[in-house]
A = this chain, B = another copy of it.
Amino acid sequence: MIVLFSDFGADDIYVAQVKAVLAQHTAPGTPVHDLLHSAPNFDATAGAHLLAALQGWFPDGSVFFAVVDPGVGGARDPVVLEADGKAFVGPDNGLLSVVAARAAKARTWRIVWRPPTQSVSFHGRDLFAPVSAWIANGNLPQDTVQEIPALSVQLGAGDLPQAIYVDHYGNVLTGLRAANVSPGAKIEVDGHQLAFARVFADVPAGAAFWYENSVGLVEIAVSGGNAAQITGLRAGDPIRLV
């Protein structure tokens, strides 16, 4: 199974080109799943924490094509990460580093193969897609990668006290794992203190609160309302626990 994670936009012209390349290089019937194409644009840090939270729902052996790559065409290396039985293919700009740091076992390779023709702006299609396909086939040619001791850009295993994603309901996901936060903690937003609730149904309509969302993150929500509009929070904004 190949799993796609990017800021390419699900409705845009990019994902289909990636899938056309994957189809050309994989065995017929290889499943390709769109995990997310609306990771915050150009934001490898938010993407790293989002990817770390979401990847847990996919089975061992999954190959993640993970590309949020504002430095495409610049100096960052393309890399492959193997972490606890899953593979991750993407740029060495921090995006894969939270998964790497939290893994019990991890190995890292620099991709040294270059496609015969490579656009300057779309390595997702030209470089990361064929490499992802070869790994999914169990057939990555040895001379395409060189093992390296670790990723160059490392964000570490810790939580991120920031908003990392706003969903289409307006719920605000943070980079804090709920397991690391006391239910007694409050989140201060704009002078208001938001308390914990177990579930939407426990909160009066229109009230803002935080809860442990379905992938284990602290999430700010408004029962029957749009938390991002009400709080003004956007991806990248700091989150303050009190």
Interface residues of A (CB under 8 A from B): 1, 3, 9-17, 19-21, 23-24, 28-29, 31, 33-38, 41-42, 50, 54, 57-59, 70-74, 119-122, 125-126, 165, 167-169, 198-202, 211, 213-215, 224
Could you show 8 A-B contacts with beta carbons less than 8 Å apart? A11-B38, A12-B168, A13-B35, A16-B35, A16-B36, A20-B59, A74-B199, A126-B214
With A10-B11, A16-B36, A214-B121 as contacts: A224 and B57 at CB distance below 8 Å: no
Closest chain B CB from A48 CB (angstroms) = 15
Q: Which of B9, B23, B33 contacts A16 (CB 8 A)?
A: B33
**Chain B residues within an 8 Å CB radius of A224:** 42, 70
**Which of B23, B125, B167 touches A214 (beta carbons < 8 Å)?**
B125
Interface hub of A13, A31, A120 (most chain B Cβ within 10 A): A13
Chain A interface main SS type: loop
Q: Which of B59, B200, B215 contacts A73 (CB 8 A)?
A: B200
Contacts of A19 in B (CB 8 A): 33
A12 to B35, CA, bound (A): 8
Asked whether A11 lies within 8 Å of B37 as measured between CB atoms, the reply is: yes
- Complex formed: what's the CA distance from A168 to B16 in Å? 15
How many angstroms between the C-alpha atoms of A54 and B59 in the bound complex? Answer: 33
Question: Would you call A34 and B9 a contact (CB within 8 A)?
Answer: no
| Complex A-B, nearest 6 residue pairs according to Cβ-Cβ distance, in ascending order | A122-B214, A9-B168, A73-B199, A74-B201, A119-B214, A10-B11
Q: Are B57 and A17 in contact (CB under 8 A)?
A: yes
Could you tell me if B57 and A199 are in contact, using CB atoms closer than 8 angstroms?
A: no
**A23 pairs with B12, CB closer than 8 A:** no
Min CB distance, A57 to chain B, in Å? 5
**Contacts of A200 on B, CB cut-off 8 Å?**
70, 72-73, 121
Beta-carbon contact of A58 and B13 below 8 Å? no
